Amino acid sequence: MDSDYLKVKICGIRALDDALVAAEAGADYIGMVFVPERRRRVSPQDAKVIVDGVRGSGGVVPKMVGLFADQSAEEVCGIIDYCGLDLVQLCGEETVKYAGELGCDVIKVVHVAESATVDDDAGTVSRVKEFSGLGHLVTLDRLVEGFQGGTGQCFDWGVAASLSLAGHPFLLAGGLTPKNVAEAIITIAPWGVDVSSGVETDGNKDHGKIRQFLINARTAAGKSL
């Protein structure tokens, strides 16, 4: 992994025009949700239109990511093949063994409790090491009981900063917006950042916010090197 280049993931994409804006603005990853009963869920058919449209646009093509949570490997692999996904992001209680059965690169969400602190969060460190030690990417997101996937809520950034200082690469998620992403990057120095609701207005992707998020993230990353 290139630790000197901040990665940016724009998640919860449901329309081709939003994906094209994210790609043109410089996103490294575009995420689409396949978790049942989630508001941002897309059908495999709509996702394939997005994937094919981005790859056929003639511009830079980000990695295309599908988000799943505690779904069968058969279902996940079928969607990977049909849509042509590059990676999957696992948002549930999936094991390392399960991740290794999917046949593609994996991002595993490790949820951080609201009460977690640098001194008492050995569980987060253990989970990050468990997956990153086998070459999987990790996303740190806020734990909300009974809720799978992105939460849009922050956790103690000190926990993330300590992991970064110890040399563990991860994508930072949870409550990021164009207004606070620069502070997060300078404070934590993550391998990458991941946003969904923070670049929306009234529940829909806001093209201005997507572009500003990328600008602010890249500017902050340049200052933190």
Which residues carry out catalysis? 11, 141
Tokens 């997956």, residue located: 131
- Phi/psi for 64 (5° steps) reads -100, 125
∠ Cα 193 197 198 (to 5°): 60
Sequential DSSP letters for 10-61: E----SHHHHHHHHHHT-SEEEEE--TT-TTB--HHHHHHHHHHHHTSSS--
Q: Which string of b and e fits 171-190 if b means at least 16 CB within 10 Å?
A: bbbbbbbbeebbebbebbbb
Look up residue 36 and give its two tokens.
């049942």
